[in-house]
Amino acid sequence: MTAGELAVVVAAVLCAIGFAALVVVLWRVLQAMRELRDELTWLREDAQPLLEDLQGSVEEARDELDRFDRLLGSAESISTHVNSASRVTRMALSAPMIKTVALASGTSRAASRLRRKGRA
The string of pLDDT tens digits covering residues 47-80 is 888 888 999 999 999 999 999 999 988 888 888 8
pLDDT computed for residue 120 by the predictor: 61
Pick 52 or 93 by higher pLDDT: 52
- For Cα atoms 37, 43, 48, give the angle at the middle one, nearest 5 degrees: 130
Instruction: Examine residue 116 and state whether it is found in any structural domain, yes or no.
Output: no
Considering 19-23, 79-83, 104-108, the range whose residues carry the highest mean pLDDT is 19-23
Residues in the chain: 120
Would 61 be classed as within a structural domain?
yes
- Of residues 53 and 111, more confidence is placed in 53
pLDDT band for position 91 (cuts 50, 70, 90): confident
Domain range enclosing 5: 1-86
Residue 30 lies in a domain: yes
Question: pTM higher than 0.85, yes or no?
Answer: no
Residue 118: inside a domain: no
Classify residue 73: in a domain, yes or no: yes
Q: How far apart are CA 25 and CA 54, in angstroms?
A: 41
Residue 29 belongs to some domain of the structure? yes
Task: Give the per-residue pLDDT at 98.
Answer: 78
Distance CA 89, CA 63 (A): 39
Residue type, 83: N
Mean pLDDT of the chain: 88
Assign 106 a pLDDT band (cuts: 50, 70, 90): confident
Residue 45 in domain: yes
> How many folded domains does the chain comprise?
1
Does residue 107 belong to any structural domain of this protein?
A: no
